[in-house]
Amino acid sequence: MASATTEGYFVPAPSRFPIRVGAALLIATAGASAWINRAQPGAYLLGLAVVLLALVLVGWFGALIREGPQYNGQVDRSFRLGMGWFIFSEVMFFAALFGALFYVREISIPDLSHGPSASLWPGYAGGWPASGPLIASELHPMSWKGAPALNTILLLCSGVAITFAGRAIRQGRQGLLSVLLAVTFALGVTFLFKQAGEYHHALTDLHLTLSEGAYGATFYMLTGFHGVHVAIGTTMVFVMLVRSLLRQFTPAHHLGLEMVSWYWHFVGVVWLLLYVIVYVL
């Protein structure tokens, strides 16, 4: 990709990648909406969008990697600020979900069972997990043991691994860097498989679905969105692993690895909060 530098400020060349990503996301939204509403082409549109998005991101990441040697300190600071604000926006996103859970558990349900609004549904006992006043089926809460506890250990270990990966590249230990990134990637994939198994158990054995009132909705919203973030982070770690095997990182230039490490630690901290609030409390 061509570029220009004016008075020490790096100016990238115009790019078509943003509009391509936007088009792929538009197709993905249309496909997901159609799939949820049981329209026949929905799954195919969603699959096509995933393939297109993957191809566009591979090309975009490749362009950024090729531009890397031209970057200066100003670009590094811009990337760090951008990643910092992105993670802050993700924090606010999960804060809104946790806030919704708090409102339902501590304000809405007590008010419907014992407060001024109790007359709307006489006899509603409330409590948590709550299926709702109009849902008679008994809910079985997800246990904090088993897969959730194991996933907590997996993410904690992966956070340690990627931290030592950063230390390894600063010491110029390329082989150790690749090993630690491979461990982090394997732990992330294992987390996703365990969460998929937990969802299967919840749907088939406990009959817990999104339509099962406040508990089902908040459980799948929080754990599902976190799982998406783990999948994104795992993909990032895999890209860093490939780049480490190609010897594209040096002790002085490994900004991409640092940004991925920041994101992975964010995912781990959110899971710790989610584990305590959703599973334990």
Residue 61 pLDDT > 90 = no
- Average pLDDT, integer, range 9-30: 88
**CATH architecture assignment, domain 83-280:** Up-down Bundle (1.20)
Q: Which tens digit of pLDDT belongs to each residue from 256-267?
A: 899 999 999 999
Tell me the range of 59-63, 66-70, 91-95, 119-123 where mean pLDDT is highest.
91-95
Say which range, 16-25, 65-74, 99-108, has the weakest mean pLDDT.
Answer: 65-74
Q: Give the single-character DSSP code of 280.
A: I
pTM of the prediction?
0.84
Give yes or no on whether 1-70 and 83-280 have one common fold: no
- Average pLDDT, integer, range 21-28: 93
SS3 103: helix
The three-point CA angle 236-275-229 to 5° equals 20
The rounded percent of the chain whose pLDDT value lies above 70 is: 94
d(CA 118, CA 193): 42
Residue 84 pLDDT > 50 = yes
d(CA 73, CA 257): 16
Q: In which residue are the tokens 């910092």 written?
A: 84
pLDDT at 29 (0 to 100): 92
- The more confident residue out of 25 and 137 is 25
- pLDDT class of 2 with cuts at 50, 70, 90: very low
Q: Which tens digit of pLDDT belongs to each residue from 89-131?
A: 999 999 999 999 999 888 888 888 887 887 787 777 777 887 6
d(CA 160, CA 170): 16
- pLDDT class of 3 with cuts at 50, 70, 90: very low
pLDDT at 254 (0 to 100): 87
CA atoms within 13 A on the CB side of 253: 14
- pLDDT class of 4 with cuts at 50, 70, 90: very low
d(CA 142, CA 113): 23
Q: Which tens digit of pLDDT belongs to each residue from 173-227?
A: 999 999 999 999 999 999 999 999 999 998 888 888 887 778 888 899 999 999 9
- Residue 94, CA distances (Å) to 41, 89, 130 in order: 32, 9, 21
Q: Domain coordinates of the chain in residue numbers? A: 1-70, 83-280
d(CA 62, CA 72): 18
- Average pLDDT, integer, range 22-48: 89
Q: Are strands 3-6 and 9-12 parallel, antiparallel or unpaired?
A: antiparallel
The values of phi and psi at residue 114, to 5°, are -135, -10
Q: In which residue are the tokens 């459980």 written?
A: 219
Is the Cα torsion angle 202, 206, 212, 216 positive or negative in sign? negative
Closest CA to 11 of 51, 71, 63: 71
Mean per-residue pLDDT of the chain? 87
154: buried, middle or exposed (CB in 10 Å: 19+, 13-18, 0-12)? Answer: buried
In the chain, DSSP finds a helix count (H) and a strand count (E) of: 8, 2
- The more confident residue out of 11 and 216 is 216
Query: What's the token pair of residue 58?
Result: 């591979």
Residue 1 pLDDT > 60 = no
pLDDT at 5 (0 to 100): 44
Assigned CATH for 1-70 = 1.10.287.70
Tell me the range of 62-76, 132-146, 206-220, 236-250 where mean pLDDT is highest.
236-250
